[in-house]
Amino acid sequence: MNSLVVYDSQFGNTEKIAQRVAETLAAYGSARAVRVSAVEPNAFDEIELLVVGCPTQAWNSTPAMKNFIAHLDNAKLNRLFFAEFDTRLDKPRWLTGSAASKLEKQLQRLHVTQLTAPASFLVTATEGPLAVGELERAADWAKELYDEFQVQMEPVVVPM
């Protein structure tokens, strides 16, 4: 499974999660994390999974990530699986909002195939650091993505 992790990050915390997700996915195929402002036009050519992640800002995803998704090439979307994550403050979800759920909604409007529910990783303050254990949780989430990909790719056996 070849993967691309596209992230936005103001203070570096989401970048750390993106890199851990990519490092973990690299066990199953090519995988790398690229900042949203640096994605090359041919970056999608060889991939099966596109993971997008950004910080939650004002209960929303970042303008750069929204813009990236809005300009995805429709012809390339159909053959990809998607997954979303965010970072947000370590407070109740109803207080913080979640960029990942906004990314999920934006992608749902494009009718793409999503592998799993969006994930949130917590920071202890606006500039970080990440809460204890979040990098390990990011690695676990990445493994779940691979497991779910395997399930999706299993051939469907039609009884005769």
Ligand X SMILES: Cc1cc2nc3c(=O)[nH]c(=O)nc-3n(C[C@H](O)[C@H](O)[C@H](O)COP(=O)(O)O)c2cc1C
Query: Which residues lie near ligand X (CB under 6 A)?
Result: 9-15, 55-59, 87-89, 96-97, 123, 126, 128
Q: What are the Cα distances from residue 51, in Å, to 15, 25, 71, 124, 125?
A: 13, 11, 16, 23, 24
Q: Closest approach of Cβ 18 to ligand X, in Å?
A: 9
- What's the closest the beta carbon of residue 115 comes to ligand X, in angstroms? 22
CB of 134 to ligand X, least distance (A): 11
List CB contacts of 67: < 8 A, sequence separation 6 or more.
none
Stretch (H or E) spanning 43: none
Q: How far, CA to CA in Å, does 136 sit from each of 41, 66, 73, 99, 117?
A: 31, 27, 33, 20, 18
Kindly state the smallest distance separating residue 55's Cβ from ligand X, in Å: 3
